[in-house]
Every structure is written in C-alpha cells, then in structure tokens.
Amino acid sequence: MGKLALGVTVGLAVVSCTIAGILVNRTARRRRKWSRVVRVLKEFEEGCSTSIGRLRQVVDGMTVEMHAGLASDGGSKLKMLLTFVENLPTGNERGIYYGLDLGGTNFRVLRVQLEGRRSPTLKHQVERQPVPQQLMTGSSEELFDFIASALEHFVSQESNDFESPDDQRQELGFTFSFPVKQTSVSSGVLIKWTKGFVIEDAVGKDVSECLQRALDKRRLDMRVSVLVNDTVGTLAVGHYHDEDTVAAVIIGTGTNACYVERTDTIVKCQGLLTNSGRMVINMEWGNFWSSHLPRTTYDIELDGESPNPNDQGFEKMISGMYLGDIVRRVILRMARESDIFGGVNVVSSLSIPFILRTPMMAAMHEDDTPDLREVARVLKETLQVSEVPLKVRKLVVRVCDVVTRRAARLAAAGIVGILKKIGRDGSGGIAGGRRKTRQMRRTVVAIEGSLYSDYSMYRDYLHEAVVEILGEEVARYVILRLSEDGSGIGAAVLAASNAASK
C-alpha cells in the first residue's frame, strides 16, 4: 500500500505539473496575443498623431493650396471655385422667397418670409420629398418636371401667414449640391453626377435652365435667380443672422467649406470686378492634400478600395462617410492578430466594407455606462458577437477615440487655414512680442452637418484644437456657430439679397 500510495502521489504530481504547464502556456499565449493587439493600437495612435506642430503645418498647407487654387485652375488640389455670389444678406431684405434644395436622394422645398430686420429665427415652411429611384437614372426633363410639380403643389398650399404682393414675381434660390462649373450667380453647367444619380443627358447642361424650363411649362411665375451649393447656402444664412460670418463649413457625411474672398486676390480671374469687391469662394476642400496629414496604412487601404482612389483625401480622414470604416479596419487587424473577438465569423463580418457606420462608432465612443453596454450592443448587432470582455470593449472605445480626435483636429486645422488666408488668425497682430488683440476682429464660422451637430466628442475635440492652434487670446474672437437647415433656407435668402441689389 505504501508503494501504491507513493505511485499515486507521484502520478498526481505529474498530472498537476502537466495541467499547470498547460495553464501557464495558455496564459503566456493570451498575453502574447494581447500584446500584439496593444501593439496594433499603439502603432495606430502614433500614426494618427496630431501634435500642435503638425496641425500648424496643416494650417500652412491649407493656406498655400488656397493661394495656388486662386492663382490658376488646376494649380491646386483645392478647386477654389468662383460662385459669383457677392451680395450676401444684410438683414434688411423683405418679402417672400422660395428655395429648392437638391442634395441627394431627398429634396426640400422651402418658403421664407423676410421682415426687413435681423432676427434670431426666420419664418419659414419646409416640405421634404424623396426622389423616386427611377428619376435618378432617367432623363433630365423627367427629374426637373418632378421637382417643378412638387414646387407647384407647395405654392398652391400657401397659408395666409405668408402673403406677398400679387404683382411680385417670385424669386427662387436653387441649392444644387453636385459638381457644377458656375458661370454666373444664377447659372452653372453640371460636370458630373454623384450620390447615386446617373442622368447622362443632364451632364454639360445648365441646371438652372433645365429647372426654369420646367417651371415655365407649368406657368409658374418664378425665376431661378440664384444657384448655389449647400456650403454657400449655410454661409448666407449665417451672414443674415450675423454680419461677421465670413466662412461656412459642412461636416457631415461629406465635407466642404466656403468663405468670403477679396476679388483682387483671385489671380486666375484678373479683371473680374464686383461692386462689393468680394466674392464667395467654394473651396471643395474635401480634396485637400498635404504631406503633413497623418496618413496610416488603414487610410491608404481605404482610399485604394474606394470608388475614387487618390481623390477626396481630406474628406476621407475627417467626414462621416469614412470614420466608421477606419475603425472597422483597425479592429479587423486586431481580430486577425488575436481571437479577442472570438472566431472566424467575426473576422468575416469585419471584412465587410462600411458594415460599421459612423453613427454606430459615435454611439460606442460616447458610451458612458460603467460596463460599456452600448459598445456590447453595437458589437452584437453588427458583428453577431454575444460576449465581449470589458477590456476589449475599452479597447474598441480607444480606437474610436483615436479616429475621432484625429478627424476633428484636422478639421480644426482646415478652419484655421481659412482664417489665416483672410487675416483673421491673429498672425498679423504681433508687436513687441505680444499680440495686438485690439486689432483682432470678431469672426464667425457657420458649421452645418450631422457629424458636428450630433457627435459631441467630435465637436469638443474640434473646438479644443482651434483654441490650441490660435491660442486663447485670439480664439476668443472666433465663434464657431452651429447652423441648421442653412443650405436650403440660404438659397432663398440669397435670392432675396440678389433681388435687393438690382
């Protein structure tokens, strides 16, 4: 029995050592896998670095490209398109004006009443309608007939609250957010369709003329007096409310910016005169590029797999269309390095482009529950992952933070680049080693778009970076103001200001 007991004891000891060895090996493997995942995160954080020095280089790069784009067509990644908009609203406009806003699969018809004085709110009515799918690939005549029909119905429903003189021909502002070569304040030739529209016979045509013919056919006594894109509309509404508004930025699914420029600086159009000596410039800043932008392998892969490679580089780093997919790509790399999300099915799900949309990313990033329940919900509903450890959820939030912070800080650098170009960044107000703040002018930038309005972390990071770049002393003169429904209302207000200037 003694020998048998000894043998059993030795056997159990061997088994225990074996089990212990297996556990130690498993623990070591888990640690190695986790270390690889952490390494992926650290490398990504370093690649997305937006130090103040780098942001100031981006500011300078934006300003240089703006100068180049104003000097010649094709001289810069920034198109710096002329809008021929020189008469911005003063607040003295009176009357009823209409707006049409076609920017995607939905369009809006608007009626705005102006009382001849600035007010915090504008009296207006809006009607939204989807564009039928078949009209997005039909003929230009069919599309514009449909729009004119909707406008006709809207006008017929005018309430007694909106009264205009019977002898007043109605002025119509048209927001058309597709690439257009503007030829005057009220006309422009369509360069190409985007956003799912493929109406070949419209390319190369003046879109204002197409709309005007549809209106005349229905005997609507309206004139298309202004053709703008959504950014210019946002600037117009901002200027109506506050005359210190000098720029507007759209930060939503896509991104763009415009600002008020002196005509004597527009070298590519020397001899172009305006009564005001200024003109709104549509930057098309989504295509901005600089070697100082913190581009990672994930950005390169996204760009290469997109329908427009080597195009819209800035937009792909800062706008809502792409942020969620950058997060997806980083998490996919982590999943391939380790099984922290569990199994092949997750890798398969994560391999689907744009399966993780930016609103989902924002929901995870802003999850303030102790156990990150919202992160768990999004991962489960999107990737069919039922159980994700808390430390992995925290890792996902960290990736979201890196992507969002980089995007917002780069957008801030772009805004400061505009301010520097027009002398509103305080760089000219230095004397004796101190800024001459008495020379600083109050400056308002109107910002529209769901990424900015709905994503508080993005908005906070953007504001923080503007202050960091400009310095607190100068930044207090710069107001970033949220604009809502600006693109459509702005077209109607611009129709009013242009009518008043004649």
Please identify every residue annotated as catalytic. Answer: 108, 177, 230
Q: Which two tokens stand for residue 70?
A: 């104003």
CA–CA separation, 323 and 330 (whole Å):
11
- By the 8 A CB rule, do 215 and 151 touch? yes
CA–CA separation, 280 and 262 (whole Å):
9
Alpha helices in 1-133 (DSSP H): 2-47, 52-71
Q: Which two tokens stand for residue 422?
A: 């027009």
Q: Is 366 exposed, middle or buried (0-12, 13-18, 19+ CB in 10 A)?
A: middle
CA–CA separation, 86 and 279 (whole Å):
5
- By the 8 A CB rule, do 223 and 172 touch? yes
Residues in the chain: 502
Residue 80 neighbours by CB under 8 Å, 6+ apart: 66, 69, 70, 281, 282, 283, 284
Alpha helices in 124-175 (DSSP H): 140-156
Cα 186 from chain centre: 25
Residue 77: count other Cβ atoms within 10 Å of its Cβ.
20
**363 by DSSP, 3-state: which?**
helix
| Backbone region of residue 460 per phi and psi (left: phi > 0; alpha: psi in -120 to 50; beta: other values) | alpha
CA–CA separation, 374 and 355 (whole Å):
17
User: Regarding beta strands 478-482 and 430-431, do their DSSP bridges make them parallel or antiparallel, or are they unpaired?
Assistant: unpaired
Looking at the DSSP assignment, which residues form a beta bridge with residue 95? 114
Residue 87 CB-half CA count within 13 A:
20
Q: Which two tokens stand for residue 405?
A: 């912070």
Nearest to 152 by CA among 172, 133, 136, 135: 172
Nearest to 324 by CA among 365, 286, 285: 365
DSSP state of 226: E
- By the 8 A CB rule, do 481 and 238 touch? yes
- By the 8 A CB rule, do 499 and 464 touch? no
DSSP state of 33: H
Q: Which two tokens stand for residue 29?
A: 């493997």
DSSP secondary structure letters along 409-426: HHHHHHHHHHHHHTT-SS
